[in-house]
Amino acid sequence: MSGQASQGNSSAPLAGLRVLDLSTVVAGPFGSDILAALGAEVIRITPAPETPRAPGDTVSEADGFLYALARNKEAVALDLKSATGRAEFLKLVAVSDVVYDNFRPGVTARLGIDHTTLSALNPGLICCSISGYGASGPWAGVGAYDVTVQALSGAMSITGSNDSACMPCRWGVPIGDITGGFYAVVGILAALNERARTGRGQALDIALLDGQLALNTYRVPQAFGAGVTFGAPQPRRGGAGTVPYGPFLCADESWLVIGVATNFWRRFCVALELPALADDPRFATLALRQAHQSDLEALLEPYFLTRSAGDWQARLIAAGVPVGRVNTIREAFAQPQAQARGMAVPLAGAAGVTVAGSPLRFVDEAPVTFTAPRSAGATLPELKPRASPPPPVSTASPAALALAAQQGPLNGITVLELCGDEPSGTFGTQILADLGATVIKIERPPTDPATCDPADLPVTPALAYYYGLNRNKRSLCLDLKTGAGRDTLLQLIARADAIYDNHKPGVMARLGLDTATLRRANPGLVSVSVSGFGHSGPWSHLPAYDATIQALGGGMSITGTGAPGTMPVRWGNPIGGIGGAFYAVIGLLAGLHRRRATGQPAALDIALLDVQLAMHSYRVAPALAGHDYPATQRRGGSGALPYGPFRCADGRWFALGITGQFWARAAALLGHPEWATDPRFTTEADRQANEDALNTLVEAAMRHRTADEWQALFVEAGLPGATVRTIPEAFDHPHVPTRDMLVSFDHPLGGRMRVAGSPLKLSAHPFSGFRHAPALGEDSRAILTTFAGLSEAQVQALRDSGAAWWADTGQCFNRPAVV
């Protein structure tokens, strides 16, 4: 049976781990929910006892937060401002592994529960703190919400319409908060790996803005190295210039998203019963389709209006063409693939409530069960048995350490990457490499070595794309279609800790690298496979693009202005692949954590669609109970107002994130303190009931100052608000240099390359720079001798046979497609 790690299962990857969770709202609890799903004992610490929720017939939006973010957790009420509450908390700290919070910087020190204090009591403790702008930098004390970090990071400038008159869009899913949770979990698991070697804990400092800056990935070197200017993407052109691409309106007034790359063009035309279109001289090649994009779309638009979106989706699925109907959240969970993968899960102890399952699917392991949240009382629930951490043992291979490009908590871990150069693979392995893992890219030798002449190679957008996803890695060229190449890879697998691929299901098996073969080579191997729809279910064989995954997953239905007839909007960054990469890294590290204790291997099956569904989090239970979530740019996830982008005197946009706690101060700052006592706007409910009137007043007030003037006032007041910045402007923020979020390094062909930094700030590993992304086969010889242990004669024989390759001189950056 294929399933998910179980919180109540003693063999779950994080069984025996205890986490004290002080976090609230979304960013913190989303991360600790992942830890709980992996089997950790997570104990929520609340300041006061909670009233148990009475059973009811409806599931409110507030219930959605509770069911999604407090499930599978224990709870206790402790007043940390009192001596008694703090003393009880310290008793728990002494027998725990992780303390996790999302307080503003300085709060834990004022409470006497900062890392320095707690580590004196428990030297192996890992403390993780999430905040808007981190514990350092000029904005450390400023409030932040999802909308403000999306605005500051450049993400809103590449989402929505290219028309500067149109309101910029944030993604409807709170990706600023969720990314913070992802990085927190990755950092905790990496720190646990290092503790197993050294016995020492450490502190993690996670900033939501750092996370959003990092998600710009390849766009950063493209902007700073290749001179690419980014605006909102064309809604009907893919990231690689694919045409036709994006949403088309259908007969039932639903939208259908397509992604027709060159290899799908002919079958797309046949499926539409327009076979002659494939050879039309205007559209016969991708370059021609790009040149005549408007003509092609004008032809397709009325044609798609002849059938419903569901009919077209069925036809294109049958033809194997990437496609996705723009689903609501409820529709997304009702799809046959979501049902087959068990992504809608009943919540035990809460009759009639359904929540999102976990995308962390451990093959042939017991599925997860989710239990209703436990209300915090004054008495601590009975703690689960927990063994003390074993004495530290370092099993790191000296060869792996020699090849590591970074000093970090994953030093000694070797990961073999067999990925196409797409974020679902390369972004994930880059995170591992940044943390000190030795990541070896297994790459295909060039078909024509003459094309590898590096003379005067410019920094093209394609080269910058590669640099944005592959720093700190090593490159080995092997031809896996030869017996010698495959046998050499198996020798590497026997010495590695993990293997990571992002191929369609079946590709690894065709290469002779199925799970059984991998396990024979290395019985303790952790293998991770990321694909659009996973290895099970009726759609497992289908191709997927970021836009189709965003459509199918429900994210596009809640993004945009929501105005009738407007085209649905996908998020500007490729969140389909990026989200899959986060879950792949988390699953890989959790698998290694368990293997260290038990020797048990793991195989993970990560589906990008599952990930999109899981990120709806607190919206799932209400949506599946009948609540509708429309697209809206001016209301926060909890209904907060005023929220979202407003135009300023200079024509730029400024995003507000004003929840109830900030309302009176925000009203005064906007020049209208009387709004705070106006009966139309006094409470959150009042502001929601009079939303249009409030937004009209705020629009007028915001036009009295420029965006920069508002920014200075909001920073001084510590209120959540931010200018909508472009990507270059985002990295010109004073926060960036203090947090090392724009990093330069030498380009092997001359000059400097700039990339986004790592959001993972660990106290034991101050940042010291990145190594450049490797040239094709740059490390082949070193890997084969140092890591695989082959003699010089054996290595030369592999090269002479064509099974292995490296360039004699210079650096090759002209890469063929990865197998």
Nearest one of 254, 119, 135, 266 to 200, comparing CA atoms: 119
Helices (H), 482-574: 483-495, 507-510, 515-521, 546-552
Q: What is the structure's pLDDT at 818?
A: 35
**Structure token pair of residue 588:** 């890989």
**Phi, psi values for residue 232, rounded to 5°:** -60, 140
- The structure's pTM equals 0.96
Q: CA triplet 725, 729, 733: central angle to 5 degrees?
A: 100
Q: When comparing pLDDT for 194 and 3, which is higher?
A: 194
Helix (H) or strand (E) holding 316: helix 309-318
Contacts of 661 (CB under 8 A, 6+ apart): none
DSSP state of 784: I
DSSP 478: E
CA distance 315 to 341: 22
321-330, 359-368, 575-584, 740-749: range with lowest mean pLDDT: 740-749
What are the start-end ranges of the H helices in 100-145? 107-111, 115-121
Q: Minimal CA–CA distance to 683: which of 656, 663, 699?
A: 663
Phi, psi values for residue 437, rounded to 5°:
-70, 150
Separation of alpha carbons 451 and 636, rounded Å: 52
CA 172 to CA 164: how far, in whole Å?
Answer: 20
> What residues are paired with 804 via a beta bridge?
478
Q: Which two tokens stand for residue 124?
A: 């192996």
Q: What percent of the chain has pLDDT over 90?
A: 82
Peptide bond into 630 cis (omega under 30): no
Element (DSSP H or E) covering residue 346: strand 344-348
Q: State the Cα–Cα distance between residues 322 and 540, nearest whole angstrom.
A: 12
Q: Nearest Cα to 180, choosing from 30, 9, 1?
A: 30
Q: C-alpha distances in angstroms, 522 versus 216, 495, 507?
A: 36, 8, 20
| One-letter amino acid of 411 | N
Q: What is the pLDDT of residue 746?
A: 83
106: left (phi over 0), alpha (psi -120 to 50) or beta: left
Q: How many CB atoms neighbour CB 677 within 10 A? A: 10
Rounded average pLDDT over 1-6? 38
Is residue 760's pLDDT more than 50? yes
* Alpha-carbon gap, residue 213 to 211, rounded angstroms: 5
Please give the helix or strand (H or E) that residue 24 lies within, else none.
Answer: none
Quickly state the pLDDT bin for 5 (edges 50, 70, 90).
Answer: very low
pLDDT confidence band for 385 (50 / 70 / 90): confident
Cis bond before residue 275 (omega within 30° of 0): no
Whether pLDDT at 7 is above 60 = no
Q: What distance in Å separates the CA atoms of residue 147 and residue 152, rounded to the nearest whole number?
A: 9
pLDDT digits over 636-681, tens only? 777 789 999 999 999 999 999 999 999 999 999 999 999 999 999 9
Rg (Cα) of the chain, in Å, rounded? 26
Task: Judge whether 634 and 644 are in contact, CB under 8 Å.
Answer: yes
The identity of residue 68, as a single letter, is A
Are the beta carbons of 154 and 726 closer than 8 angstroms?
A: yes
* Residue 558 token pair: 């809640």
Q: How confident is the model at residue 695 (pLDDT cuts 50, 70, 90)?
A: very high
pLDDT in tens, 265-302: 999 999 999 999 999 999 999 999 999 999 999 999 99
| Cα 53 off chain centre by | 32
- Residues sharing a CB contact under 8 Å with residue 261, sequence separation 6 or more, in sequence order: 238, 240, 242, 286, 322, 545
Of 809, 179, 254, 213, give the one whose Cα is nearest residue 556.
Answer: 254
pLDDT of residue 2: 40
The pLDDT tens digits of the residues spanning 212-250 come to 999 999 999 999 988 898 876 667 777 678 999 999 999
Mean pLDDT value of segment 735-752: 87
Q: Which amino acid is at 672?
A: H
Q: Quick one: CA torsion of 423, 408, 418, 324, rounded to 10 degrees?
A: -20
Q: How far apart are CA 355 and CA 225, in angstroms?
A: 44
Q: Quick check: 553 and 613 in contact, CB under 8 A?
A: yes
Query: Two tokens at 154?
Result: 């450049």
Backbone angles phi, psi at 653, to 5 degrees: -110, 145
Torsion sign over Cα 231, 232, 237, 239: positive
Q: Can you tell me the distance from the alpha carbon of 149 to that of 446, in angstroms, rounded to the nearest whole number? A: 41
Q: So what's the pLDDT on residue 323?
A: 97
Cβ contact 273:332 at 8 Å: no
Look-up of token digits 């913190």: 28
Reply yes or no on whether the pLDDT at 340 is more than 80. Answer: yes
Looking at 21, 33, 63, 177, which residue is catalytic?
A: 177
What is the DSSP-derived secondary structure letter of residue 450? Answer: G
Q: Give residue 397's pLDDT.
A: 81
Query: To the nearest 5 percent, what fractions of the chain are helix, strand and coil?
Result: 40, 15, 45
pLDDT at 50: 87
* Residue 678 annotated in active site: no
β pairing state of 474-478 and 804-805: antiparallel
Contacts of 703 (CB under 8 A, 6+ apart): 647, 648, 649
Cβ pair 381, 76 in contact under 8 A: yes
Whether cis (ω within 30° of 0) applies to the bond prior to 49 is no
Q: What is the pLDDT of residue 1?
A: 30
In whole angstroms, give the CA distance from residue 323 to residue 261.
12
pLDDT at 566: 85
Annotate 648-679 with DSSP letters as a single string: -TTS-EEEEE--GGGHHHHHHHTT-GGGGG-T
Confidence of residue 392 (pLDDT cuts 50, 70, 90): confident
